[in-house]
Chains A and B, each alone.
Chain A
Amino acid sequence: MARVVGGLTTSHIPAIGNAVPREKELVNDPYWKPFFAAYPPARAWLQKAKPDVAIVIYNDHGLNFFLDKMPTFAIGAAAEYRNADEGWGIPTTPPFQGDQELSWHIIESLVHDEFDVTTCQEMLVDHGFTVPMSLFWPGNSYGGVKTIPVCINTVQHPLPSPLRCFKLGQAIGRAVESYPKDLKVVVLGTGGMSHQLDGERAGFINKKFDLLCLDKLVNEPEVLTRYSIHELVREAGAQGAEFILWLAMRGALSGKVTKVHSSYHVAVSNTATGLLVLDNAA
């Protein structure tokens, strides 16, 4: 049977997309050092865990979806996912391999579980997907893992609630664990932590709240599912609401969850960056 072996979360700031190809020189740069220094333990854990598939829970920032049709939850069912020009010049990444059979198994299971997702046989993936993949698997081959993008709307309110996203994650976890093939799966939740790009409150960061989230997400995620989107925007900033993607990741881990590694740094670009690696033992 397939198994969720762990979950990882990381910020996905576009500026990182520019920095990743230059990591070797930037690792000693005073601005980037505290950021890149956080990633080797996550990569080491992945090398040991050797996952076959990464389910990447992210948000599209206006590359694949527009306001003409804006799904709350969308899932990829393609053999390959491509990145493309997002308009402000981060280098595009090589394509990502999909796993169509597992995608359709998850779709069947989710809809059966009353999560009526939008299915996508064509799907461009933006920095919300590509930056974490490039950070966790440097060198553009992504460790040979296959990917399944799961996109949650954070562009247009109403956004799905933290609790709903956590439950979606639980349903994804159940779907994976009922897949008959022996596959090791990791679930990524991307984005965050606190940040706000728009309005007079731009530049808002809330370290206290971020550290609370990093702590509670490990073993008391229920505490965090009680926030409303409005409260999340207040505490984490307008775009800090991306934390719902982390909660969805956490929902997919149903075993004995232990923290392997975490890191927090203020700031890269306008954003407080956070990293969390969780092991999900049977």
Chain B
Amino acid sequence: MTLVTHHDLPIPGTYMFDGHAAMKGYALNKMCFSFNKAENREEFLKDEDAYCTKFGLNDEQRKAIKERNVLAMIHAGGCIYYLAKFAGIFHLTVQDVGAQQTGMTVEEFKKKLKAQGE
């Protein structure tokens, strides 16, 4: 199946969460959506593997979750709005997640944010 979604040039380092990604990442995103509820967050922490199985994650998604690798989750179809709920389990802020994806320390990442206001 071919979906025509974007007619413009790609934006480097930017992933449009579109129909392709939404199909690919459905199980991963559904699991992360479940982390709105405290009891689900606890269940995940008790047995991560079993929880991933319950939601039917594929190998790529399981690996990304296991490694806490946000870019890999995005490549596996993850949508940042749901992934943020996964990050929340480990009390990671969006700045921690931003630093991880850009290969910076959190301090460097915060500096970069601030510098853009000058």
Contact = CB atoms under 8 A, between A and B. Distances in A.
Given A197-B98, A199-B15, 7 more contacts: A62-B32, A62-B85, A87-B88, A157-B18, A200-B12, A202-B97, A207-B116
A126 B73 CA distance: 24
Interface in B53-85: 70-71, 74, 79-85
Interface stretch (A217-225, A245-253, A262-270): A262-270
A230 B7 contact: yes
A270 B109 CA distance: 9
B39 to A, nearest CB: 10
B14 A233 contact: yes
Interface of B: 5-8, 11-19, 22, 26, 29-30, 32-33, 35-38, 41, 70-71, 74, 79-85, 87-89, 91, 93-95, 97-98, 101-102, 109, 112-114, 116-117
A207 B12 CA distance: 19
A201 interface: yes
A158 B70 CA distance: 23
A234 interface: yes
Contacts of A199: 13-15, 71, 74, 101
A199 B16 CA distance: 10
B90 to A, nearest CB: 10
A57 interface: no
A202 to B, nearest CB: 4
Interface string A65-92: 0111000000000000000111111000
Given A62-B33, A155-B81, A267-B117, A202 B17 contact: no
B94 A267 contact: no
Given A85-B37, A156-B17, A158-B18, A270 B98 contact: yes
A122 interface: no
B14 A270 contact: no
A144 B117 CA distance: 36
Given A88-B88, A157-B18, A267-B116, A200 B97 contact: no
A171 to B, nearest CB: 27
B40 to A, nearest CB: 9
A63 B36 contact: yes
Contacts of B14: 196, 198-199, 201, 233, 238
B41 A87 contact: yes
A197 B94 contact: yes
Contact of B30 (A61, A67, A84): A67
Contacts of B6: 157, 230
Contacts of B94: 14, 197, 269-270
B12 A198 contact: no
A207 B94 CA distance: 20
Contacts of A266: 113-114, 116-117
A117 to B, nearest CB: 21
Contacts of A203: 98, 102, 109, 112-113
B117 A233 contact: no
Given A67-B26, A155-B81, A87 B97 contact: no
Closest 3 CB pairs of A and B: A266-B117, A88-B88, A201-B13
A159 to B, nearest CB: 9
